[in-house]
Amino acid sequence: MNQSVESSIESIIKNFIDYSPENTLKNHDNDKAFDTPLVGFSRGDDPLYEAYKEYVGTFHWTPLEIFSRSFPLFEVSAEDLTIISWVLPQTEATKSDNRKETIYPSERWARARIFGEEVNVKLAKHVVATLQKAGFRAVAPSLLSPSFKWMTSERFSIASTWSERHAAYASGLGTFGLCDGLITARGKAMRCGSVVANIKIPVTKRPYHDHHAYCLFFSKGTCEKCIQRCPAGALTPTGHDKVKCRNYLLADTKNYVTSHFNFDGFGCGLCQTDVPCESKIPEKDTP
C-alpha cells in the first residue's frame, strides 16, 4: 500500500536524522547531533499566521508572503500551502552533560548549537530538494531564505521575520514555556525548523488551546526551575529578557566556548536542561 503524503514526508525527515552521516556533532566519536524528530503540519491560511503579525510584529511573514517572495512568478493561494515543521530533540548524552553545568554550556551542547544547526540547515535542503524533485515548490524561511532577517519588536525587543517555534506551535508540536522555549512531547531541549511548500497535507491537530498550556508556571503557578538555572538573570516571573540572554550567549559563552573547546561557537541552554520540561511535557503533579 502506498504511504500517505504526510507519512512520506515524515519518513524523509526522520530517515535523514536517523541514518544520514550528516547528523553529527563533529566530535571525536562523531556522535549524533539529534534524536528522531517530531513532525507536524499546518495550513498556509491558518489564522494563527495572521495573528503572529499582530503578536510578534508586522514584519513576521505569513506563509504566503515568504512563498510568494521566493517564487514571484508562481500564483498560489494561502490555502494551497502547507508548513512542514520539525523538532530535533537533543540526545540524552548532550542533555546529561548540560545538566551538570551551572554557568557555561557543556562541549556537547555548544557543538549541538553550532554543528547541530548545520544539520538543521542540511535537513531543510534535503526536504526542499526532495519536494522539488517531486514537482513542488518549497522554501525554508529561516534556514535557507536569503530574505530572512532579525528585527526589533515592540513586544519582544528582538524577533525575526519567521519564527520556527511559532510555526511548530501552529503545527501542533508544542506550547511556550516561561523561558520562551517550546515544550514539546520530547521536551524543550531541542532545535526546530520548517519548510513552506505548495503541497496539500492534512494538518496536525493542536492538542492545546492555550499557548502556555504545558508550562507549570502558567498552568499551576509553580516550578520556575528555568529561572533558577539561568546564569545571566535573563529569566524572571515576567518572562525572558532576550537582550540579556543574547548578550550572555554572544559575549560570555562565546569567549568560553572558543577558549575551552577549540572551535568558534557559543551556546547556553541551561534553562532547557535539568528542568521538568527538559525531555517531556511535565506532569501537572510535578512539585
Among 26, 224, 254, 280, indicate the residue that binds ligand SF4 (CB under 6 A). Answer: 224
- Candidates 79, 83, 121; CA nearest to 206 is 83
**Contact stretch for ligand SF4 (CB under 6 A) within 14-22, 23-31, 219-227, 256-264:** 219-227
Tell me how far apart the alpha carbons of residues 215 and 221 are, in angstroms, rounded to a whole number: 9
Q: Which residue is nearest to ligand SF4 (CB)?
A: 177
Q: Figure out which of the listed residues 232, 265, 273, 279 binds ligand SF4, where binding follows CB under 6 A.
A: 232
How many Å apart are CA 6 and CA 90, to the nearest integer? 24
The site that binds ligand SF4 (CB under 6 A) totals a number of residues, namely 26
As beta bridge partners, residue 79 has none
> Do 138 and 5 touch, CB atoms closer than 8 A?
no
Give the cell for residue 224: 520556575
Neighbouring CB atoms inside 10 A of 15's CB total 12
Least CB distance to ligand SF4 at residue 174 (A): 11
- Beta bridge partner(s), residue 197: 82, 138
Q: Quick check: 143 and 157 in contact, CB under 8 A?
A: no
Q: Is 229 in the site for ligand SF4 (CB under 6 A)?
A: yes
Contact 151, 159 (CB under 8 A): yes
- Give the per-residue contact string, 174-213, with ligand SF4 (x = CB under 6 A; - = no): ---xxx----------------------------------
Q: What is the DSSP letter of 219?
A: H
Contact between 52 and ligand SF4 (CB under 6 A)?
A: no
Check residue 275 for interaction with ligand SF4 (CB under 6 A).
Answer: yes
The DSSP annotation for 231-242 comes to: TTS-EETTEE-H
Neighbours of 43 (CB within 10 A): 21
Selected binder of ligand SF4 within 40, 115, 276, 281 (CB under 6 A)? 276
Among 124, 235, 257, 281, binds ligand SF4 (CB under 6 A): 235
Here the cell at position 117 is 544547526
User: Which range in 39-47, 147-155, 203-211, 275-283 contacts ligand SF4 by CB under 6 A?
Assistant: 275-283
Site string for ligand SF4, 67-106 (x = CB under 6 A): ----------------------------------------
Indicate the residue among 26 and 212 with the shorter CB distance to ligand SF4.
212
Interface residues with ligand SF4 (CB under 6 A) are 177-179, 215-217, 223-226, 229-230, 232, 234-235, 240, 245, 248, 268-271, 275-277, 282
